[in-house]
A and B are shown apart, each in its own frame.
Chain A
Amino acid sequence: MNKKNIISLLLLVTALSIIIAGLLPTKYTSGFDFQSFSTLPVQANGRLCPLDTVARNTLLLSSGKQTVRLSQGAKLDARSWLVEMAARPEFADSFPVFRIDNQEVLALLDKKLGEQKYFSFNDIQPVFETIHREMERINPESQLQTPYEKQLTKLNNALTAYHRLIHSFHPMTKNSSDLLDEYNTWEQITKNGFLEIQKQQNGHNFDPVIANKFMGFSERYLTLSKIASLGILPPRKTQTDDKWLNIGQILMDAVVDEHINPIAYNYANMSAAYAENNPSLFNATLNDMHTFFKPYTNSFKIKFEAFFNSYEPFYRSILIYTLAFLIAILSWIVWGKTFQKSAFLLTSLAFILHTCGLIARIYIQGRPPVTNLYSSAIFVGWGAVLLGLILERIFKNSIGSCVSGIIGATTLIIAHQLSLSGDTLEMMRAVLDSNFWLATHVVIITIGYSATFLAGMIAIIYIFRGVFTKNFTPNTAKTLSKMVYGILCFALLFSFVGTMLGGVWADQSWGRFWGWDPKENGALLIVLWIAVILHAKVGKYIKDTGLMLMAVGGNIITAWSWFGTNMLGVGLHNYGFMDAAFKALIIFILSQLLFIAIGAIPKKHWKSNI
């Protein structure tokens, strides 16, 4: 085997090991079956999901990560953390899961910027009153908040989610035997206690001790029912809705049933087993629970979602896309043919992984691929990579692989940033609740974004190679010019049709085809810009370089349309807001302007002669 073949093989093996590594199940040395725990079904945020999702999303919301680093250096994954929250809440309260970066918020805790980044519930507890007072004062509209107020609101939301989660498994007691005592006492008192309360209300003689005890428990569980955020028991047969019951409601229902539903005991016993270091009891209880839930859920789908969470297909795709991008660039310097083939192979592998992730989301959510800002980022990348792969197959010059690699990686990184604010598989808002339009208008316009970014990226490569490298030939330049022109035609087709479909949907939904709202205006700008480019090229007002510069301009317009319009806080399309994203958008726009400026340098200063 010669050197080239060995390197190619090495690259392939690297990519394959990234893909396969995620398939290996996590090894837990303690004997506790955390995997089984993580696939318990619950109802959270209006949908059925595994505890795994709840754990990861809550952690992402508070710390931006899916793991917890303890002060002793040990690392907890999301599943283990959630077990601690359920079984040893006082201990969990000492874990540093709240990330604070804002100077003024840190000041509330007497900390300076850089001293400490992650804080525990206990660390923050002393200033709860201050936070509460501030939250009363702060304007709930995020556009009108200062950065400090935005960060404090974010912290408050994370604290609330944490508080509600930790109370979702059982009422708080000193230890697990106290909990079981409480349940036993409550069961015994439900029948008599209710009778005594009735006697009291009818003005008859009643036993005040029993009555007061009953009221005490009732109030405790009523409060609990308002806090607990997870539905842990499927709806009763007598319910008309599909709402799962939380622990507070289950305990209150004991009055009607004269016993507490076994699920509450299951959670209590499981927590106790963990706290007392009894893996076999822990695992056995979990088995019983899974058997119980079987008739109420699609356990395959629940388990699949937990697997999907832990596999992290998009993270792995980012790695392989980046590798493909680097190899593609390398192919222009040395070993052209070999690296071109490798780059194409790597991009294809990453694309397959990316596609699997996309399909998995469609399966879990039961919706077309684009339903919120997060999924739009996943799909924009997917569309651009697909087009890039087709280009590579036709032209075989590593351009396709290069742009696919960089766009694939970048959009997935953007997606990751967008995933930090909540459940990415969230339920659709009422006005968006139309699978037909989601599958047509949204998908088509997103493909339009993909194509515009692809053309812009190829244009950047044209500029870069022309200005900074010596081996950019006139033939390659002509080819790139054809690519960009063709892709822009494609982009115009999809952007225009997508925008028109949006008008039709708006007419069906809001009563008017076009309302000139910011998102509609943004889409119109993309269509107009590409129309300007194509008309200018036909009229020969611009040549190849002009085409490239304007294509890079398309990146700016598309970024404005995709993200900028959401930041204005205006109009019917205003359902995705962000804060720090504004800075990122400005930096992106400046970078594109820089590329345009470089490309505008007169040809005689370019290193390549085209």
Chain B
Amino acid sequence: MFEKLYHFFSSLKLTVTLLIFSMALVFFGTLDQVNYGIFEVQQRYFKSIVVLWQYPPQWIFGNVLQYLHIPMLGGYTIGTLLLINLFVAHFKYYNSSFKKSGIMLIHLGLVLLIISGFLSGFLQIESQMWIKENSKANYSQSNHYNELVIIDKTKDEIDTVYAIPENHLKTNTLIKDSKLPFNVRVIHFYENADIAFRSQTPLANTQNIATQGAGLKMDIVAMPIPKSYKDEVPNAATAYIDIIDNEGDSIGVWLVSNLLDDQFPPQRFTHEDRQYEVALRFKRYYYPFWLKLNKFSFDRYPGTEIPKNFSSKIEIINPVKNEIRDTLIYMNNPLRYEGKTFYQASFGDNEKTSILQVMQNPSWQLPYWSVLIIGLGLLIQFLLSLTTFLKKHR
């Protein structure tokens, strides 16, 4: 039994099969990126165990070919199997001669690369920081994940933020936790919704579910719409929440949505002499420092709209470390600070707002090591082959 397993997992046949499977995964995943965007495909194809590809009904001959489904092993499965294959094969073929050192290094580096892929998948956090010119920010926000927040604003200098992650927000559930100041009953949760004036929607004849806040004041309602897969168009997570005090009485029902951002007045209420704010917003990552945008520049080639350079003149203000210094973030030149990296990603608001991409990945150095090791291995292997070839053809 053990013999059979060892034979199976160390076999070259398995390697070739897995490589072909991974090619299929990559190819069909790429095709699906047209309709589902890069983020969704990453989740479905590369951060999964199995995946099913369907011929897109919108493509040519779609009405017939849409029944074509192809099941495939997902990225995690193939990655794990390849790792096992590489490990076990290493023991089977291990040979400490110099002649084989090139191949050994290559495969060792590959192991490292696959491991770094797994680690990145688990550990990487991607977010964006929007900073207006002459103002500062101490947090970044996700494009994909949302959180329901109840903020205790009673004290002037300190806000206490109670954040409930999106995956707890399911329609018709009650969220109870001793750490929360209130219980929250989620009446409705929509992954993506439009917000419109109630009188202009089919809900005009029904009563507004919201009894407090913007929903009531502006007489607006949420209309669920299909999830967006375009990478540039985020989903408007929206919910009706019922805030319930410790006695079980409802304080009110609010309409919350990540569409109701800082351009709208905050939804606040008072309860037992404490002031609270409630909102559904993109998940925030707070930092113990500030980045102040002094100037954003969009240089173009003279006489054209072709971008020559984007740059942000940033001032780092870190009260914990007592650090205040200027720095420049521009294309191909990120700021690496406090374990995160800040890239010039985009801009908005008529070039008055700079958008930085913030990447946090403790395993970011692994691919570099892997590349180095594989590069060395390839070089040794190539030189060995070259000298052998030249000797024969002297």
* A514 CB to nearest B CB, Å: 7
Q: Report the minimal beta-carbon distance from A272 to chain B, rounded to whole angstroms.
A: 27
Residue A503 lies at the interface, judged by CB distance under 8 Å to chain B: yes
Question: Which chain A residues border B332 with CB–CB below 8 Å?
Answer: 431, 433-434, 437, 505, 508-509
Complex Cα spacing A501 to B301, Å? 28
Identify which of residues 179-199 in chain B touch chain A, using a CB-to-CB cut-off of 8 Å.
none
* A570 close to B (CB within 8 Å): yes
Q: Is A497 an interface residue (CB 8 A)?
A: yes
Q: Which residues of B contact A524 (CB under 8 A)?
A: 26
Q: Give the docked Cα–Cα distance between A496 and B116 (Å).
A: 17
Q: B375 and A516: CB pair below 8 A?
A: no
A518 and B371 contact, Cβ closer than 8 Å, known pairs A43-B303, A510-B357, A511-B343: no
Quick check: A532 and B23 within 8 Å, CB to CB?
yes
Cβ of B13 and Cβ of A541 under 8 Å apart?
yes
CB nearest neighbor in B for A433:
B331
Interface residue from B15, B29, B367 paired with A535 (Cβ < 8 Å): B15
User: Interface-forming stretch among B30-38, B131-139, B144-152, B216-224?
Assistant: B30-38
A residues 491-545 touching B (CB-CB < 8 Å): 493, 496-497, 500-501, 503-505, 507-518, 521-522, 524-525, 528-529, 531-532, 535-536, 538-539, 541
- Assess A244 versus B126: contact at CB under 8 Å? Given A508-B332, A512-B120: no
Determine the distance from Cα of A541 to Cα of B12 in the docked complex, in whole angstroms: 10
Contacts of B20 in A (CB 8 A): 532
CB within 8 Å of B: which A477-503 residues: 486, 489-490, 493, 496-497, 500-501, 503
Partner of A511, one of B301, B309, B357, B382: B357
Across the interface, B309 reaches (CB within 8 A) one of A231, A433, A500, namely A433
Decide yes or no whether B304 CB sits under 8 A from chain A.
yes
Q: Within 8 Å of chain B (Cβ to Cβ): is A46? A: yes
Residues of A within 8 A of B333 (CB): 508
Question: Can you name the residue of chain B whose Cβ is closest to the Cβ of A241?
Answer: B302
Output the nearest chain A residue to B19 by Cβ-Cβ distance. A532
What 1/0 mask marks residues of chain A from 545 to 567 whose CB sits below 8 Å from any chain B CB?
Answer: 00000000000000000000100
Q: Is the CB–CB distance between B343 and A510 below 8 Å? A: yes
Does B91 lie at the interface of the complex (its beta carbon under 8 Å from any beta carbon of A)? Answer: no
Report Cα–Cα, A434/B332, bound state, in Å: 8
Q: Count the A-B residue pairs with Cβ separation under 8 angstroms: how many?
A: 156
Cβ contact of B303, chosen from A44, A517, A529, cutoff 8 A: A44
Select one of A433, A497, A501, A528 contacting B19, CB under 8 A.
Answer: A528
Neighbouring A residues of B358 by C-beta, 8 Å: 511
Contact between B42 and A516, CB atoms less than 8 A apart: yes
Question: Would you give the shortest CB distance from B20 to chain A, in whole angstroms?
Answer: 6
- Output the least CB separation between A48 and chain B (Å): 10
Asked whether any CB of chain A lies closer than 8 Å to the CB of B307, the reply is: yes
What's the nearest-Cβ distance from chain B to residue A99, in Å? 25
**A501 to B375 Cα, complex, angstroms:** 10
* Docked complex: B209-231 residues within 8 A CB-CB of A: none
Q: How far is the CB of B61 from chain A (nearest CB, A)?
A: 14
Report the Cα distance A521→B42, complex, angstroms: 12
Q: Is A424 an interface residue (CB 8 A)?
A: no
Interface size class of A (residues with CB under 8 A): 35 or more
B303, A513: Cβ atoms under 8 Å?
no
Pair B12/A539 contact, Cβ less than 8 Å: yes
Return the CB mask of B38-71 against A: 1 if under 8 Å, else 0. Answer: 1001100110000000000000000000000000
Interface contact A231-B26, CB-CB below 8 Å: no
Bound CA span A437–B23, Å: 27
Does A336 lie at the interface of the complex (its beta carbon under 8 Å from any beta carbon of B)?
A: no
User: Whole-angstrom distance between the alpha carbons of A514 and B120 in the complex?
Assistant: 9
| Minimum Cβ distance to chain B for residue A189 (Å) | 28
Chain A, Cβ-Cβ closest to B46: A516
Contacts of B116 in A (CB 8 A): 513
Give bound CA distance, A515 to B126, whole Å. Answer: 12
Counting CB contacts under 8 A, is A242 at the interface? yes
Q: Which of A242, A493, A570 has the most CB of B within 10 A?
A: A570
- Contact between A427 and B343 (Cβ–Cβ < 8 Å)? no
Docked Cα-Cα span, A423 to B374, in Å, equals 39
Evaluate contact between A242 and B309: CB separation under 8 angstroms: no
Establish whether residues B33 and A46, one from each chain, have CB atoms under 8 Å apart when the complex forms: no
Closest partner residue, chain A, to B22 (CB atom): A528
Given contacts A429-B307, A489-B385, contact A508 B334 (CB under 8 A): yes
Least distance between B171 CB and chain A CB atoms (Å): 32
Lowest 9 A-B CB distances belong to which pairs?
A46-B301, A511-B359, A243-B302, A539-B12, A430-B307, A46-B304, A513-B367, A500-B371, A521-B30
Given A508-B332, A521-B29; 18 other pairs, CB 8 A cutoff? A43-B303, A45-B303, A45-B306, A46-B303, A427-B301, A430-B307, A437-B332, A496-B378, A497-B378, A511-B359, A514-B367, A521-B30, A525-B23, A528-B23, A536-B16, A538-B12, A570-B37, A571-B33
Question: Which B positions have Cβ atoms within 8 angstroms of A?
Answer: 12-13, 15-16, 19-20, 22-23, 26-27, 29-31, 33-34, 37-38, 41-42, 45-46, 116-117, 120, 124, 126, 300-304, 306-310, 331-334, 341, 343, 345, 357-359, 361, 364, 367-368, 371, 374-375, 378, 382, 385, 389, 393
21 pairs, A vs B, C-beta closer than 8 Å: A46-B308, A231-B302, A246-B303, A394-B393, A427-B301, A429-B306, A430-B310, A430-B331, A433-B308, A489-B382, A493-B378, A503-B371, A507-B364, A509-B334, A510-B357, A511-B343, A511-B359, A515-B38, A516-B29, A528-B23, A571-B33
